[in-house]
Each structure stands twice: as structure tokens, then as C-alpha cells.
Amino acid sequence: MRETTKRKLFEATLRLSASRGLVGLTVDDIAAEAGVAKGTVYYNFGSKDGLVDALLRFGVDLLAGRLRAAGPDADPVAMIEAQVDTTLQFIAEYPGFSQIVVSELWRTPGRWHDTLALLRSELTEVVAAQLERLHEAERLPAGVDIATAAAGLFGTMLVVALDWQVFQPTRTRAEVLDSVMMLVRGLGGGS
């Protein structure tokens, strides 16, 4: 499949899911929105579920790559701040993707739970690496579980960013970033 066709299908799915959710979408809807034949979806992905699975993998790979490239700063708090800002920017760019992740990740059981569990693990590992650096620098309270803290920060980034997009769109990204970082610094990561 040509990369442009794949991107058109992903973007169409994101646009439609942002306003209607995934469950009610049909392959006909997605194909029409993307301007391709319905058979293109089936030929390349097998089903709507196959398309959504590929979309989730694509989005998480994109976000994880951006998080890893957020800047090789020596200070772990500055790196976490860069990762939070990168996540806010990503969610502003792809709000439909983030809505899918938030609505499907914690649904029990969800259609895409297995895929999302693997993808969640990939993203929280990126965040955990910076929290581990804070721990090594003795800038986290004793006994903090890094895996739980990484999941908490990842969840905070997603939910706060969506709250910003949906309920507080007049706030600037810098204001939202400052609010999240106030929480991070409250954990002992002071700057």
C-alpha cells in the first residue's frame, strides 16, 4: 500500500472517531472520508479492526519516536518537561488518536486491549527511563515505584492534554505544561 493511501485512511479514521467514536464507524464511512474504495481498506487491513490496530501502532510509534527525540538534556526534569511538551504538541496535532487511546486503553475488555497494552508499555518505558534518571540522582522520594510513577505520568499527560483540547482550549500549551510540571516537581523532581 502506498504510504499516502495509508495516511489518508488513518487521518480519515481519526477525524471520524473524534466526533463519533470508533464503535459506530464503518468501513464505508472511513473509505468515503478518505476518498478511496471500500475494497482498499479490506485489501490492505482485512477489516476495520485491522485498520484501527495498524493506526494505533502507527500513532504510538510516532509518539514514542518524538518522546525519545525530545532532547538529550543532562537534567532528567528538563527531559521530562520536554516529553510532556512533546505529548501536548502531539495530542494537539492528533486529538482523535488520543481520544481513541484514552477511551480504549482502560475499557475492560476492549477490542484493541492487547495492542494497546503493548503500546502503553512502549510509551511508559520511555517515560520510566527519565524517572529512573531522577531516582538515580536521588531526586525522587525513597520507595517510589518507577513503573507506577511512569504509568501515572503517562496517564496524566494523556488526560490533561485531552482536557485542554476539549474543555480549556483557550489555555496555551505553555500554561498546560506548567501545570503538569508543577505536579512532577511536587514529586520531588524540583528544578
Question: Domain coordinates of the chain in residue numbers?
Answer: 55-189
Q: Which fold has domain 55-189?
A: Tetracycline Repressor; domain 2 (1.10.357)
Model-level pTM?
0.81
pLDDT recorded at residue 71: 66
**Range with lowest mean pLDDT among 11-15, 120-124, 184-188:** 184-188
Tell me the pLDDT band of 190, cut-offs 50, 70 and 90.
Answer: very low
Rounded mean pLDDT, 23-40: 91
Handedness of CA 59, 64, 66, 67 (dihedral sign): positive
Residue 89: which pLDDT band, with cuts at 50, 70 and 90?
very high
Cell numbers that stand for 59 in this block = 500513532
pLDDT of residue 187 exceeding 80: no
Give residue 28's pLDDT.
94
Share of the chain above pLDDT 90, in %: 27
Amino acid identity, residue 104?
E
- Report the alpha-carbon distance of residue 138 to residue 4 in Å, rounded: 47
Average pLDDT taken over every residue of the chain: 85
Q: What is the pLDDT of residues 111-135, one digit of tens each?
A: 777 888 888 898 899 889 989 988 9
In tens, the pLDDT along 146-165 reads 999 999 998 888 888 888 98
pLDDT score of 1: 57
Mean pLDDT of 132-143: 87
Q: Is the pLDDT of residue 191 over 50?
A: no
Share of the chain above pLDDT 70, in %: 94
3-state percent breakdown (helix, strand, coil) of the chain, nearest 5: 75, 0, 25
| pLDDT tens figures, 33-81 | 999 999 999 998 999 889 888 888 888 888 889 988 886 677 888 888 9
Contacts of 169 (CB under 8 A, 6+ apart): none
